[in-house]
């Protein structure tokens, strides 16, 4: 790795207005809300999922009594968010998702209603006047550049109905703003999520190149599931609970997880080579810059090392000073959006 003038410093004190800024990340797997409130900085993570149960007498009352997030339509109760994952584990079966590969799935009839209900729960009641809200949007994929406009249009529309003046921020840029503030928001931010990987090359907080690939943790779960004959849901649970990429695999499922993690890192690095080497927009940086990895898919032990190994053979027009992990990988995108909202609130754009 090349030396850099950009040294990673201590995270600077949080800059943002007390209370009034919200960063929102509506992802394929999770919806994350990031804000400051009287109790300090905090974020909430809600699974972007639902689980259907029959609307039997009493069930509705019991769900209400237990404070479980749900809505009722026809003869079905839609259990939402983290509770949906619990129901799926206890009752068996899989959750449904409103989004696939980073994009709102318009084939899923109740998908938008599910996202709206989760946003209602986390945002509607607590809106103080003058709250600035920035929400993340994925970048265009290299092969299907138009599909990402769906998210921005749907999310902005509903957030306006809730009374906000929402503003979009690219997911990869949000990662740079969250994690590379001490490096003048210059470098490469990558979010490896459930449905996508989002990449942004930024110079002094200006996004010079953004793109996404439509593969993430779900791709690993699906491919391993197919290989070993198990459901993707089961593979996801094992991956999240047990996987450590720095240890040799202990069984067939772990072997599959190692193979498909390797595959995803290779695809991501190849996409970096392709996108950076063909883009006229890549800044001509004299100095080596940091690259930061975030998103739930980088959580297993050994991810950083495996990514570094995949990157070692790449030929990039930008020198990478160091590869870092985000401090809170699941919350980095929402945190970057929150920082944007904070600056917005200060009247700085
Ligand atoms: N402890 C863990 N170990 C491994 N993977 C994990 C862990 N926790 C979450 N994940 C995986 O991270 C992914 C979700 O990450 P994240 O919340 O960043 O995605 P997202 O923002 O919802 O999706 P996207 O940005 O692709 O739309 C899922 O594939 C999930 O299985
Ligand atoms: Mg994401």
> How far is the centre of ligand 1, averaged over its atoms, from the C-alpha of 196 (Å)?
9
pLDDT digits (tens, 9 = 90+) for 184-219: 999 999 999 999 999 999 999 999 999 999 999 999
If one residue of 193, 244, 294 were mutated to test the ligand 1 pocket, choosing by the most ligand atoms within 8 A of its CB, it would be 193
Scanning the chain, the segments in alpha helix (DSSP H) are 59-65, 82-91, 111-119, 149-161, 171-179, 217-228, 232-242, 252-278, 303-312, 332-345
pLDDT digits (tens, 9 = 90+) for 143-180: 776 778 889 999 999 999 888 989 999 999 999 999 99
Model's pTM, two decimal places? Answer: 0.92
> How far is the centre of ligand 1, averaged over its atoms, from the C-alpha of 32 (Å)?
12
Question: Is residue 110 a contact partner of residue 117, using CB atoms and an 8 Å limit?
Answer: no
Model confidence at 289: pLDDT above 50: yes
Determine which residue's CA is closest to atom 28 belonging to ligand 1. Answer: 194
Tell me what pLDDT residue 9 has.
44
Q: Which residues line ligand 1 (CB under 6 A)?
A: 25, 27-30, 102, 191, 193-196, 216-218, 236, 239-240, 243, 295-297, 299-300, 330
Tell me what pLDDT residue 345 has.
57
Tell me what pLDDT residue 346 has.
53
What ranges make up the beta strands (E) of 143-263? 167-170, 187-192, 197-203, 206-213
Mean pLDDT to the nearest integer, 81-93: 92
């Amino acid at each position: 790795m090349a030396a850099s003038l950009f040294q990673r410093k201590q995270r600077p004190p949080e800059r943002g207005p007390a209370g009034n800024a919200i960063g929102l990340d509506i992802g394929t797997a999770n919806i994350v809300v990031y804000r400051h409130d009287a109790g300090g900085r905090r974020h909430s993570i809600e699974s972007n999922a639902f689980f259907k149960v029959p609307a039997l007498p009493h069930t509705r009352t019991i769900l209400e009594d237990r404070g479980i997030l749900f809505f009722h339509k026809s003869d079905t109760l839609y259990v939402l968010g983290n509770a949906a994952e619990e129901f799926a584990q206890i009752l068996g079966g899989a959750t449904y998702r409103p989004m696939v590969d980073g994009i709102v799935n318009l084939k899923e009839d109740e998908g938008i209603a599910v996202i709206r209900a989760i946003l209602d729960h986390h945002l509607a009641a607590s809106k103080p006047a003058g709250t600035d809200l920035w929400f993340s949007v994925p970048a265009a994929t290299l092969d299907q550049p138009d599909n990402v406009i769906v998210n921005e249009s749907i999310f902005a529309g509903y957030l306006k109905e809730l009374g906000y003046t929402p503003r979009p921020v690219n997911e990869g840029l949000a990662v740079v703003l969250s994690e590379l503030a001490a490096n003048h928001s210059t470098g490469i931010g990558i979010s490896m999520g459930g449905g996508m990987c989002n990449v942004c090359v930024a110079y002094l907080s200006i996004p010079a190149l953004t793109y996404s690939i439509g593969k993430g943790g779900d791709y690993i779960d699906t491919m391993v599931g197919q290989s070993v004959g198990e459901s993707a849901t089961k593979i996801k649970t094992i991956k999240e609970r047990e996987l450590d990429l720095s240890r040799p695999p202990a069984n067939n499922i772990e072997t599959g997880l190692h193979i498909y993690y390797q595959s995803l890192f290779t695809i991501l690095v190849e996409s970096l080579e392709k996108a950076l080497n063909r883009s006229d927009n890549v800044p001509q940086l004299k100095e080596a810059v940091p690259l930061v990895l975030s998103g739930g898919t980088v959580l297993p032990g050994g991810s950083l090392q495996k990514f570094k190994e995949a990157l070692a053979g790449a030929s990039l027009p930008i020198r990478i000073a160091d590869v870092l992990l985000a401090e809170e990988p699941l919350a980095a995108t929402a945190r970057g959006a929150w920082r944007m909202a904070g600056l917005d609130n200060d009247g700085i754009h």
